[in-house]
A and B are shown apart, each in its own frame.
Chain A
Amino acid sequence: MKIHFYTRYLIITVFCFLIAIGIVIQLIRIQSMEDYAAILAQNKGYEGSFVTLIPDRGRIFDRKGSLLAGNETTYEVGLDLVNIDDPETIANAVSSILGLDYYETLTYANIKAGQDGRYYIVLDDFVPAEKIEQLQILKEDYQNREIPKKQKRPSLSGLMWTEHTKRSYPEGSLASNVIGFYKFLDRTGGMGYYGVEGAYNDILSGTPVEVFIPNDPQLVTELPDIQKGADLILTIDREIQTMAENVLDESLDWSGAESGTILIANPEDGSILAMATTPRLDLNQYWQYDQIFVNPTPFNNAISKSYEPGSVFKVLTMAAALDNGAVTPNTIFSDVGSILVGGAYIYNWNYGAWGDQDMTGCMQHSLNVCLAWVATELGEDAFYNYMRNFGLDRNTGVDLAGELHYPLRLPGDNQWYEVDLATNSFGQGISTTPIQMVMSVSALANDGKMMSPHVTKSMIIDDHQYEVNPVIVGSPIKPETAHTITEMLAVSLEQEASNALVDGYRVAGKTGTAEIATEFGYTSNVTNTSFVGWGPTDDPKFLVYVWLEKPTISIWGSEVAAPVFSEIVQKLVVLMGIPPDSIRMNIASN
């Protein structure tokens, strides 16, 4: 009996021992196999997966919090070839809802899983949520539909959609030249181009992080904090921008101008309130860029297109001469209709002689001869030093991608001639961009302090808001000079009964009509018309620059650009809440 039990125990023991030996041998065999590394990697795959977390691109707001650039959910629609039950129903659904080709989809849906190594096929991308909702409703309808027993149930099994975000520009083309665009169709290597999207691409995009997501819930940990894309709040005011673009479009219509630019800035801090230019692009369809910006049209004329500004430039020449002491407002110049500088005669715009004129009269009648004389009185060294101090020999550094400037020709350069001193004094033979002019003139409107133009008001990084402080880039003239030139220009507009005047508000400014250089020389038939002005003169809150290129209704800045300035200011003071001068004075005196 005992022996019987012992035999049984022995057999069980040997059996267990053999199993254990077998397991050990199998373990050793697996570890010495050639495919060991592959098996190990496969096992790693079961443990979890590495996922790249891409932070949402930072949003862009206007100064009052209106969203200018955000993100929205879109979907990638594809076929999971393993789970397809009904290729015809899938082809029908995607052709009717997504507008894809029925036969092409059917061909894809009939591919066997694993054929050519394919298990998943992308049918469409950037599909809006509404379309996905329709597919979802259809899918549920098929699942819940009562079907007779012998009939096959239609199914969308195998049709799948995956969500991801895309850049969205709710305002379409509004301020498009300032915002720039993000190439969202490129989901892995998308970048920001032009404007704010280009200039701040790095901080808007954040830092992607690769993390391991374990399948074992015991190993799950909190996802690491990923560096989100910074949000930007711009100095642009959406209402003012809309107004500026509408006024610009209307003025292009009635003046027949080829293109135009309007810049509105706060001279006290250099912030840009509006930057309207043409052409504009619907940023949600950025791929139309090539059709709209036909070479060599810059994306933003305000910062990239230089031109000879003409008589608006006289404000800088006069400011320099007053500051230097070469002239005073009461200095009398006897205009005989021409002046010889560097071997060339300079004439007035009407080729007339205006007799004795003080400096205000010279500005009021925009006398080229007088300003050429003023420049010679100032001297070439002083004149070009002032122009450099006004920042005309460099980029302004505005925080927008794509800023360009035309080099300032200086005495001693190969291309510089003595007559250039005279022509430069009234804005011919010298090229600037509108943003350069705005920065320079901001010194005249801001007690001599020239502010760095900028479009970013603040940034939100890691849930903290950082304000962008205004930067003084120079003080090219003294405060007294700024007050004097402002007064002279205000008086000259009033005496001229200019089209630029605004009822109830005292403004200072200057028109500009510039001949355009062609391969056959300068032409008077086609001009660049401009106006630069600021106000209220006692405490300037806005500076407006208007440039209309090649208007057909008139060649004169006083008839084309000045009324546009006036219209802009009339609407601007309402939007900015600036009361008429009389009311402000009354409040101040109380």
Chain B
Amino acid sequence: MKNDLIQAYRQSPWRIQLQWIGMFLLLLVLVAAIAGVYLNLSARSAASGRQVQMLENKIEDLNMEINDLSTKLAKISSSQAMLSRLEESEYILINPNQAFYLEVSGFEPDTGFVLAPPASENTVSSPVLKPEYSNSLWDRLLELIDKTVLDFSEDSEVRP
């Protein structure tokens, strides 16, 4: 019975052409969309790359500035400079017997200069580039698929 059925009509050629054109346009839009996403991501990635370079340069500049400023401060407050300022201000080093000593309970004398935390302390590791800055488009796609699959699997879980 089934084999006896014969299609009695065919679609008009203009419809078929329209379908082909539609398919082609759909494909074109799809390609354009992927290209757009790719261009967008590569442009952002390039901009981020430049930003990384600029930040690295800025870090170097800031380090140099810190060095300059700390050296300048050290020169301004060098022992010779401070001694001449003390002399100008008519300060003198006192005789030990002129000193007045006062007992202050709870006073802890300075234990020394601390420039960095001791090695034993837990410290946060230095910041690194996020994976978004180094992943390829393919990596991102796989990641997206993984995430989507995971989301679906979580959603389908039956909970009591």
> How far apart are B138's CB and chain A's nearest CB, in angstroms?
14
A59–B101 CA distance with the chains assembled, in angstroms: 36
**In the complex, what distance in Å separates the CA atom of A570 from the CA atom of B94?**
9
Query: Contact between A67 and B97 (Cβ–Cβ < 8 Å)?
Result: no
B120-131 Cβ-contact flags toward A at 8 Å (1 or 0):
010100101100
Contact across chains for B128 and A465 when beta carbons are under 8 A apart: no
User: Is the beta-carbon distance between A218 and B112 smaller than 8 angstroms?
Assistant: no
Chain A residues within an 8 Å CB radius of B49: 216-220
Could you tell me if A463 and B78 are in contact, using CB atoms closer than 8 angstroms?
Answer: no
Q: How far is the CB of B115 from chain A (nearest CB, A)?
A: 5
Return chain A residues, CB-CB under 8 Å to B56: 222-223
With A and B bound together, what is the CA distance between A129 and B72 in angstroms? 12
B19 on the A face (CB < 8 A): no
- CB pair A463 B71 closer than 8 Å: no
Question: Which of A163, A216, A220, A458: most chain B CB closer than 10 A?
Answer: A220
User: Per-residue 0/1 for A128-152: is the Cβ within 8 Å of any B Cβ (1 yes, 0 no)?
Assistant: 0100000000000000000000000
A233 cross-chain contacts in B, Cβ below 8 A? 112-113, 115
User: How far is the CB of B119 from the nearest CB of chain A, in Å?
Assistant: 4
Q: Which of A73, A170, A583 interacts with B64 by CB under 8 Å? A: A73
B114: interface (CB < 8 Å): yes
Q: Taking the complex as formed, is B148 at the interface, i.e. its CB lies under 8 A from any CB of chain A?
A: no
B71 to chain A: which residues have CB within 8 Å?
67, 70-72, 168, 170
User: Does A402 have its Cβ within 8 Å of any Cβ on chain B?
Assistant: no
Question: Which residues of chain B from 21 to 70 have a CB within 8 Å of any chain A CB?
Answer: 42, 45-50, 52-53, 56, 63-64, 67-68, 70
User: Quick one: closest A residue to B73, CB to CB?
Assistant: A67
- With A172-B80, A220-B49, A239-B79 already in contact, the answer to whether A504 and B112 are too (CB < 8 A) is no
B79 engages A238 (CB within 8 Å): yes
Contact of B96 with A67 in the complex, beta carbons under 8 Å: no
- A506 contacts chain B at the CB level, 8 A cutoff: no
Complex Cα spacing A221 to B129, Å: 8
Shortest C-beta distance, A540 to chain B (Å), equals 17
Q: Does any Cβ of A come within 8 Å of B118's Cβ?
A: yes
Question: In the complex, what's the smallest C-beta–C-beta distance from A535 to chain B, in angstroms?
Answer: 12
Q: Is the CB of B118 within 8 A of A218?
A: no
Q: Does B116 contact A (CB under 8 A)?
A: yes
The answer on a CB contact under 8 Å between B116 and A70 is no
Q: Is B85 an interface residue (CB 8 A)?
A: no
User: Are B52 and A465 interface neighbours, CB within 8 A?
Assistant: no
**B112–chain A nearest beta-carbon distance, Å:** 6
Question: Is A503 among interface residues, defined by CB-CB distance under 8 A?
Answer: yes
Given A63-B112, A460-B116, A463-B116, residue A72 in contact with residue B67 (CB < 8 A) = yes
Beta-carbon contact of B95 and A570 below 8 Å? yes
Q: Chain A contact residues: over half helix, strand or loop, or mixed?
A: mixed
Q: Mark B96-121, 1 if CB is under 8 A from A, else 0.
A: 11010101000001101111111101
Chain B residues with CB below 8 A from A70, complex form = 67, 70-71, 74
- Flag the segment in A294-302, A405-413, A572-580 that touches B: A572-580
A460 touches B115 (CB 8 A): yes
Q: Which B-chain residue is minimally distant from A71 (CB atoms)?
A: B67
Could you say which residues of chain A place their CB within 8 Å of the CB of B94? 574
CB distance from A514 to the nearest CB of B (A): 31
Q: How far is the CA of A590 from the CA of B105 in the complex (A)?
A: 12
Residues of B within 8 A of A129 (CB): 68
Nearest chain-B residue to A590 (Cβ)?
Answer: B103
B79 to chain A minimum Cβ distance, whole angstroms, is 4
CA distance A503 to B115 in the complex (A): 38
User: For residue A218, which residues in chain B have a CB less than 8 angstroms away from its CB?
Assistant: 42, 45-46, 49
Name the contact of A63 in the complex, choosing from B48, B113, B118 (C-beta under 8 A). B113
Chain B residues with Cβ below 8 Å from A574 are 93-96, 99
**Interchain CA distance A40-B104 in the complex, whole Å:** 76
CB neighbours of A328 from chain B (8 A): none
Q: How far is the CA of A229 from the CA of B5 in the complex (A)?
A: 89
CB distance from B28 to the nearest CB of A (A): 22
With A170-B74, A218-B46, A221-B129 known, 10 other A-B pairs at CB within 8 A are A67-B71, A165-B64, A174-B80, A213-B53, A216-B49, A222-B129, A464-B117, A465-B118, A467-B118, A570-B96
Q: Which residues of B contact A (CB under 8 A)?
A: 42, 45-50, 52-53, 56, 63-64, 67-68, 70-75, 77-80, 83, 93-97, 99, 101, 103, 109-110, 112-119, 121, 123, 126, 128-129, 134
Interface residues, chain A, CB within 8 Å of chain B?
56, 59, 61, 63-67, 70-73, 129, 163, 165, 168, 170-172, 174, 213, 216-223, 225, 231, 233, 238-239, 241-243, 457-458, 460, 463-467, 502-505, 570-571, 573-574, 577, 579-580, 583, 587, 590
Can you identify 30 A-B contacts, CB atoms within 8 angstroms? A56-B67, A64-B112, A66-B77, A66-B79, A70-B70, A72-B68, A170-B78, A171-B78, A172-B78, A174-B80, A217-B50, A218-B46, A220-B50, A220-B52, A221-B129, A231-B115, A463-B117, A464-B119, A464-B121, A466-B119, A502-B96, A503-B96, A505-B96, A570-B95, A571-B93, A574-B95, A574-B99, A579-B101, A580-B97, A580-B101
Interchain residue pairs A-B with the least CB separation, the first 9:
A217-B49, A220-B49, A170-B74, A67-B74, A65-B113, A464-B119, A217-B46, A242-B79, A579-B101
